[in-house]
A and B are shown apart, each in its own frame.
Chain A
Amino acid sequence: MRSKSVVTWAGVFALALYSSMAVGSKYNLPEPQSVIAKDIYDQHIVLLWICLVIFIGVFGVMFYSVLKHRKSLGYKAANFHHSTAVEIVWTIIPCLILVVMAWPATKTVIAMKDTSSPDMTIKATGYQWMWEYDYLQGEGEGISFFSKLSTPKAQIVNKEPKGENYLLEVDNRVVVPVGKKVRVILTANDVIHAWWVPALGIKQDAIPGFIRDTWFTADKPGIYRGQCAELCGKDHGFMPIVVEVMEADEYTKWVTAQMNASAVKTSMHVENK
């Protein structure tokens, strides 16, 4: 009975520890919102546990030695200085642990790289210091806009109180439908930038003169925020990325509204001529 309760408590404790590190915590990766982000999240937790076990093993031995094998306790030094068997063992075991770590990572890498047959394609272009989005293929094809930081300067120079999404808000969000495979094509106009949305598990450098691509499928509607992750000059810290994921029908409405707005703009343009 007693041992059973010990096991129960140990289980509860482990669960509590796990969940304290888990979703929504400021000590860990943000709550994953895509398959890839979930894989990354889980692999990171597994790796932390492996590291913790090795850490306790190695430093358990070392600190036992530090406490017991002291000159001040009169401990006399032994004189051994090698053991081929032990050395082979502690070379092979780490190799095996690495294989355990590399296996799931390899599968995720292959999945991350598979940008084939997307439902829609968006091109993101990095500028000093904003993003431009062009909807190239799929529902919304033809939509194009710039996306800039919308936090007022007064907040940055401490003249106004800072809002909840300080530095993580933009004038025009990238809008995508939920559950659809979105391929993002990246390039840049001036220097290297990087397009990073942590909750979606996606980060890719945008390189001037070259095209890179990556993809994500958002699990849930919501607003996901990220930042440029490659130093790109003075306002590197001020070019956020905001992705808004919508249900399919709302997305259709958004696309219609965008199309109408751009039609109005175009016709105005024509009239002016």
Chain B
Amino acid sequence: MAAIHGDAHGHGHDDHHPSGIMRWITTTNHKDIGTMYLWFSFAMFLVGGTLAMGIRAELFQPGIQILEPELFNQFTTLHGLIMVFGAIMPAFVGFANWQVPLMIGAPDMAFARMNNWSFWLLPVAATLLVSSFFVPGGAAAGGWTFYPPLSTQGGLGVDLMIFAVHILGASSIMGSINIITTILNMRAPGMTLMKMPMFVWTWLITAYLLVLVMPVLAGVVTMLLTDRHFGTSFFNAAGGGDPVMFQHIFWFFGHPEVYIMILPSFGIVSEVIPTFSRKPLFGYSSMVYATASIAILSCVVWAHHMFTAGMPTVGQLFFMYATMLIAVPTGVKVFNWTATMWRGSMSFETPMLFSIGFIFLFVIGGFSGVICAIVPIDIQVQDTYYVIAHFHYVLVSGSLFALFAGAYYWIPKWTGRMYNETLGKWHFWLSMFFFNLTFFVQHFLGLAGMPRRIPDYNLQFADFNMISSIGAFGFGLTQLLFLYIMISCIRSGEKAPEKPWDGATTLEWTHLPTPAPYHSFEKPPIVK
């Protein structure tokens, strides 16, 4: 172990890195790169959020007012792509960059230069995606799932999207290889796998999922590209291909992707809940096994996105049963968190509030997930607002709330300053209120028969759409409060105490000063 950590005899790196913009372009420091990932993802979150505001503004009333149908489809497509690939995934990688080395007692990530490269690919991909609005024909408009033959029809915007996905995929694969190598090789002496913090465990499993499925996504977009430009017929029946094959390959990536975006949130919540309950995580090993089972099951359920595409009875039944099974390990996690809180000594600072909000709303999303898994019911709700409600409950009040929890939890360690607790609580309660206002009513819209991805609707859907739009505007504005809280914390926040959370037990809190120095754990700590 000591050999890997190097620099055992004190002549450590000084902080003589370049300053200004060159510091950020050339940095190989995991903290700098983590910071850049987080700012990048927040910027993308605002771009994707602006698109969402456009969508909800158009749907505020029946009729076409603001966005013509073609542009509306571009908005929904880019909203999905930017939020998934630009906001949520890079944010988790940002957390991994900051926290994995700190939590396992490593000095940096294993491949520091590749780390820089995997970050700097992201702005390139984002530029391709955003600029596609301004090319002839506009941005991709076939939905974030870009099913052919529709996506074969699109213009230059689709090609830009395909290249953006390639680049984002390359970035994710490099990022995850880096995380796997760091976790497996650079843990402090004494930290066995089963002593790793839950956040590190969930990221290890997530990184394996990424390495497994991102190449599949790269493959399927490449097939789409050659169908579009080089005369192949992978997805064209007239040439012997099959449009449904695209869906199978896409969702073989797409369903594990869902868990890629939720497993690290489980990790963050599993750090926050014990800290603020002042009690160890209940059922640590069953948490690890549950995470691994979710990851494995997530690879054999993809066709539940395609129940209406038509498949044999046995196929539908298999994918229904497999999907329902995921509820079991997910349930175990929820029960474990509840048992962790049970007879703890709880306090409710902002990270804890977001974590409890996460559990509460994620469970609602889990329930609607089980309902969607039941084939006959899915036949009714597939491609309706019910599904929109379902996946926003797991992605917004799931992943995003956990990201907020993590940001409030670790910002004192990162900056040495405290955020404003009162404003943090306002951020939580406003998010909670407006989130539910936006998305709860969408369950009713879906059940009553409103399809997703339509710019205009029958009058029976008018009142719930208006409520949903009001909620969305409120939710959007509330996130500017988060930006304000973070900026004022970084610039002028009160100095954080050495250990702001008395219940915290992981290495970054017990073995490092606050704020964490630019180079930390140059000598590995000993874990007993």
Closest to B338 in A: A62
Taken together as a complex, chains A and B put the C-alpha atoms of A162 and B339 apart, in Å, by: 54
Residue from the set B309, B375, B377 with the largest chain A CB neighbour count within 10 Å: B377
Residues on the A chain within 8 Å of B347, using CB: 70-72
A9-17, A86-94, A137-145: which lies at the B interface?
A: A86-94
Contact B320 A109 (CB under 8 A): yes
Once A72-B347, A166-B458 are accepted as A-B contacts, the answer to whether A234 and B69 lie under 8 Å apart by CB is: yes
Looking across the interface, which residue of chain A has its beta carbon closest to that of B277? Answer: A77
Q: Does B32 contact A (CB under 8 A)?
A: no
What secondary structure prevails in chain A residues at the interface with B? mixed
Instruction: Find out whether the CB atom of B345 lies under 8 angstroms from the CB atom of A69.
Output: yes
Q: Which of A47, A83, A102, A198 contacts B380 (CB 8 A)?
A: A198
Asked if B363 CB lies within 8 Å of chain A CBs, one says: yes
Residues A90 and B63 in contact in the complex (CB < 8 Å), given A40-B380, A231-B73? no
Q: Is B454 an interface residue (CB 8 A)?
A: yes
Interface assignment of B47: CB less than 8 Å from any CB of chain A: no
**Cβ contact of A192, chosen from B149, B377, B453, B460, cutoff 8 A:** B149
With A91-B332, A203-B379, A207-B243 already in contact, the answer to whether A234 and B70 are too (CB < 8 A) is yes
> Interface stretch among A117-125, A208-216, A247-255?
A208-216
User: Given that A77-B344, A192-B150 are known contacts, is A65 also in contact with B374, CB under 8 Å in the complex?
Assistant: no
A109 touches B279 (CB 8 A): no
Please tell me if the beta carbons of B360 and A59 are within 8 angstroms of each other in the complex. Answer: yes
Say if the beta carbon of B108 comes within 8 Å of chain A.
no
Given A87-B332, A167-B458, CB of A70 within 8 Å of CB of B346: yes
B237 near A209 with CB under 8 A, answer yes
With both chains docked as a complex, state the minimum distance between the C-beta of A193 and any C-beta of chain B, in angstroms. 10
* Interface membership of A175, Cβ < 8 A: no
Rounded to whole angstroms, the CA-CA distance of A185 and B142 in the bound complex is: 25
Count A/B pairs, Cβ under 8 Å.
265
Would you call A162 and B308 a contact (CB within 8 A)? no
Asked if residues B345 and A109 are in contact (CB atoms below 8 Å), the reply is: no
Closest residue of B by beta carbon distance from A72 = B347
Q: Which residue of B lies closest to A78 (CB)?
A: B343
Which residues of chain B have C-beta atoms less than 8 A from A101's C-beta? Answer: 324, 370, 374
B281 within 8 A of A: yes
Q: Is the interface of B mostly helix, strand, loop or mixed?
A: helix
Check if A236 sits within 8 Å of B377, measured CB to CB: no
Q: Which of A97-128 contact B (CB under 8 A)?
A: 98, 101-102, 105-106, 108-110, 112-113
* A36-B376, A80-B282 known; A226+B345 contact, CB < 8 A: no
CA A82 – CA B287 in complex, angstroms?
11
Chain B residues 316-369 with CB under 8 Å of chain A are 316-317, 320-321, 324-325, 327-328, 331-332, 334-335, 338-339, 341-348, 356, 359-360, 363-364, 367
Contact A231 B453 (CB under 8 A): yes
Contact across chains for A165 and B324 when beta carbons are under 8 A apart: no
- Smallest Cβ distance from B210 to chain A, in angstroms? 27
Would you call A109 and B244 a contact (CB within 8 A)? no
In-complex Cβ contact of A47 among B284, B377, B379, B451 (8 A): B377
How many residues of A are counted as interface, with CB atoms below 8 angstroms from the partner's CB atoms?
89
Is B455 part of the contact surface with A, judged by Cβ < 8 Å? yes
Shortest Cβ distance from B371 into A: residue: A47
The answer to whether A65 touches B243, judged by C-beta atoms less than 8 angstroms apart, is no
Chain A residue contacts of B384, Cβ below 8 A: 229
Shortest Cβ gap from A192 to chain B (Å): 6
Q: Mark contacts of A224-239 with chain B using CB atoms, 8 A cut-off: 1 yes-contact digit, 0 otherwise.
A: 0011111111111110
Among residues 278 to 308 in chain B, which have CB atoms less than 8 Å away from a CB atom of chain A? 278-286, 308
Q: Which has the most chain B C-beta neighbours within 10 Å: A40, A47, A210, A236?
A: A236
Q: Which of B279, B447, B457 interacts with A78 by CB under 8 Å?
A: B279
- Give CA–CA (A203, B308) in the complex, Å: 6
Residue numbers in A under 8 Å from B63 (CB-CB): 155-158, 162
Q: How far is the CB of B253 from chain A (nearest CB, A)?
A: 19
A65 contacts B376, C-beta separation under 8 Å: no
Judging by beta carbons under 8 Å apart, are A90 and B332 in contact?
A: yes
Closest to B70 in A: A234
Check: A182 CB closer than 8 A to any chain B CB: no
Q: How far is the CB of B218 from chain A (nearest CB, A)?
A: 23
Partner of B383, one of A90, A158, A194: A194
Q: Is the CB of B286 within 8 A of A237?
A: no
Given A28-B447, A156-B456, A167-B456: A82 in contact with B285 (beta carbons within 8 A) = yes
**Contact assessment for B346 and A109 in the assembled complex, using a CB-CB cutoff below 8 Å:** no
A58 contacts the other chain (Cβ, under 8 Å)? yes
Please indicate the chain A residues that have their CB under 8 angstroms from the CB of B142 in the complex: 231
Q: CB-CB < 8 A to A91: which residues of B?
A: 328, 331-332
Residues of the B chain whose Cβ atoms lie less than 8 Å from the Cβ of A3: none
Q: Provide 24 A-B residue pairs closer than 8 Å at the C-beta atoms, listed in order of the A residue.
A: A36-B376, A47-B374, A51-B370, A61-B342, A65-B342, A65-B344, A66-B348, A69-B341, A79-B280, A80-B343, A91-B331, A94-B328, A98-B370, A108-B376, A109-B313, A164-B459, A210-B243, A231-B73, A231-B143, A231-B150, A234-B73, A234-B141, A236-B69, A237-B455
The 10 closest A-B pairs by CB, nearest first: A209-B237, A237-B454, A77-B345, A212-B310, A78-B343, A51-B367, A108-B376, A81-B280, A191-B150, A158-B63
| Inter-chain pairs besides A71-B345, A77-B343, 16 sampled, C-beta below 8 Å | A27-B448, A43-B374, A65-B346, A77-B279, A77-B344, A78-B279, A83-B283, A90-B332, A91-B331, A95-B328, A98-B325, A98-B370, A102-B374, A157-B63, A158-B63, A191-B153
